[in-house]
């Protein structure tokens, strides 16, 4: 048996005793300062603690940020919905104010017919040709019948009501329709003729003899009342051009620009009383 084998137990005992004494000695306080053992532990484990703390805080911030982000998204969607409905409310309010202003303008421009006015909103146009007819939101329940004069917000002639007339809707034939006819005369010269539409923005004044005196570009035309539909004196339009009719030399070729603006035709007034008075 070797020497190491014989003395191994004694050496192990001595080594453990020395290590134990060393551990006790390093833990003995040395005044207000830290012990060597504590300092060693601090230097060894402080980076690990810092890394662990940073990791935990990072995970916590990420988790909190995730829920905060979800909350922000939900709040954003809620605000979007609120903005949408607010915009709709603004549109309805603006539309209502515009309609109210239009109605006031109509009644102011047609004071002579105020007792017989029915104010209506344009809700549709002729899809085949918008210069032929429109649909309004007033009908027989509002006192509307066929052959009633219709004017715009400035009091200018738009056309007349035609069939069909339902309980709450009516069709209006525009003066620009090719099948329309309005008896008119010029204000200055008293030139009388029948204004017919061309299914576009302008009309023509028919049956004015080439020998007729008076009439010129820019002269205003108004209804005569001879057709028993439109009351006399309603503003219709102005003469845009005047010349000889190539197709029929005995008549003049007169182009008329109606006063009413089709692009701005949103509200109209129906005259329930007048020469025609409806049929």
The answer to whether residues 272 and 147 belong to one domain is: yes
The closest alpha carbon to 223, from 158, 268, 269, 179, belongs to 158
The answer to whether residues 82 and 205 belong to one domain is: no
- Share above pLDDT 90 across residues of the chain, in percent, rounded to a whole number: 32
The answer to whether residues 88 and 175 belong to one domain is: no
- Both tokens assigned to 265: 């035709």
Q: Give me the mean pLDDT over the 110-131 stretch.
A: 78
The answer to whether residues 148 and 248 belong to one domain is: yes
Q: Kindly tell me if the per-residue pLDDT of 111 is higher than 90.
A: no
Q: What is the pLDDT of residue 40?
A: 58
Q: What is the pLDDT of residue 198?
A: 93
Q: Tell which of 52, 79, 109 closes a domain.
A: 109
pLDDT in tens, 78-98: 776 666 556 655 655 565 656
The answer to whether residues 105 and 127 belong to one domain is: no
The answer to whether residues 139 and 255 belong to one domain is: yes
Q: What is the pLDDT of residue 255?
A: 94
Q: What is the pLDDT of residue 207?
A: 85
Residue 164: asked if its preceding bond is cis (omega within 30°), the reply is yes
Q: How confident is the model at residue 213 (pLDDT cuts 50, 70, 90)?
A: confident
Bridge-partner residues for 133, per DSSP?
A: 173
3-state secondary structure of 48: helix
Angle, helices 36-109 vs 3-26, to 10°: value is 50
The answer to whether residues 102 and 168 belong to one domain is: no
Q: What is the pLDDT of residue 273?
A: 75
Tell me which residue range forms the domain holding 227. Answer: 116-279
For residues 153 and 15, which has the higher predicted lDDT (pLDDT)? 153
* Count of domains observed in the chain: 2
Contact 197, 174 (CB under 8 A): yes
Q: Is 89 exposed, middle or buried (0-12, 13-18, 19+ CB in 10 A)?
A: exposed
The answer to whether residues 153 and 21 belong to one domain is: no
Q: Tell which of 55, 88, 109 closes a domain.
A: 109
The answer to whether residues 160 and 183 belong to one domain is: yes
Contact 183, 230 (CB under 8 A): yes
Q: Tell which of 64, 83, 109 closes a domain.
A: 109
Q: What is the pLDDT of residue 161?
A: 95
For residues 63 and 126, which has the higher predicted lDDT (pLDDT)? 126
The answer to whether residues 105 and 129 belong to one domain is: no
The answer to whether residues 140 and 257 belong to one domain is: yes
Q: DSSP class of residue 118? A: E
For residues 99 and 147, which has the higher predicted lDDT (pLDDT)? 147
Contact 193, 222 (CB under 8 A): no
Listed in order, strand segments (DSSP E) in the chain are: 117-125, 133-136, 149-151, 157-165, 170-174, 182-186, 192-197, 203-206, 220-223, 235-244, 252-258, 267-271
The domain that holds 209 is classified in CATH as 2.40.10.340
Q: Give me the mean pLDDT over the 142-156 stretch.
A: 91
The answer to whether residues 120 and 88 belong to one domain is: no
* pTM recorded for the entire structure: 0.61
């Amino acid at each position: 048996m070797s020497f190491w084998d014989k003395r191994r137990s004694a050496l192990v005992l001595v080594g453990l005793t020395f290590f134990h004494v060393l551990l006790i000695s390093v833990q003995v306080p040395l005044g207000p300062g830290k012990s060597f053992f504590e300092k060693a532990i601090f230097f060894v484990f402080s980076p690990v603690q810092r890394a662990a703390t940073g990791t935990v805080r990072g995970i916590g911030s990420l988790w909190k940020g995730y829920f905060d982000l979800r909350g922000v998204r939900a709040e954003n969607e809620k605000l979007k919905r609120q903005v949408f409905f607010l915009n709709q409310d603004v549109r309805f309010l603006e539309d209502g104010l515009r309609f109210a202003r239009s109605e006031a303008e109509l009644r102011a421009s047609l004071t002579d017919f105020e007792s017989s006015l029915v104010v209506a909103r344009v809700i549709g146009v002729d899809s085949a040709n918008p210069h032929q007819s429109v649909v309004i939101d007033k009908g027989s329940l509002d006192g509307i019948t066929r052959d009633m004069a219709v004017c715009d917000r400035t009091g200018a002639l738009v056309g007349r009501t035609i069939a069909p007339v339902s309980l709450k809707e009516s069709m209006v034939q525009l003066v620009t329709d090719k099948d329309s006819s309005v008896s008119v005369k010029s204000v200055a010269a008293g030139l009388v003729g029948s204004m017919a539409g061309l299914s576009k923005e302008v009309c023509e004044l028919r049956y004015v003899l080439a020998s007729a005196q008076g009439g010129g570009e820019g002269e205003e035309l108004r209804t005569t009342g001879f057709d028993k539909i439109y009351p006399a004196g309603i503003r219709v339009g102005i003469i845009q051009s005047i010349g000889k009719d190539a197709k029929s030399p005995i008549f003049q070729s007169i182009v008329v620009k109606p006063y009413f603006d089709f692009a701005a035709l949103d509200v109209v007034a129906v005259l329930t009383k007048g020469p025609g008075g409806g049929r």
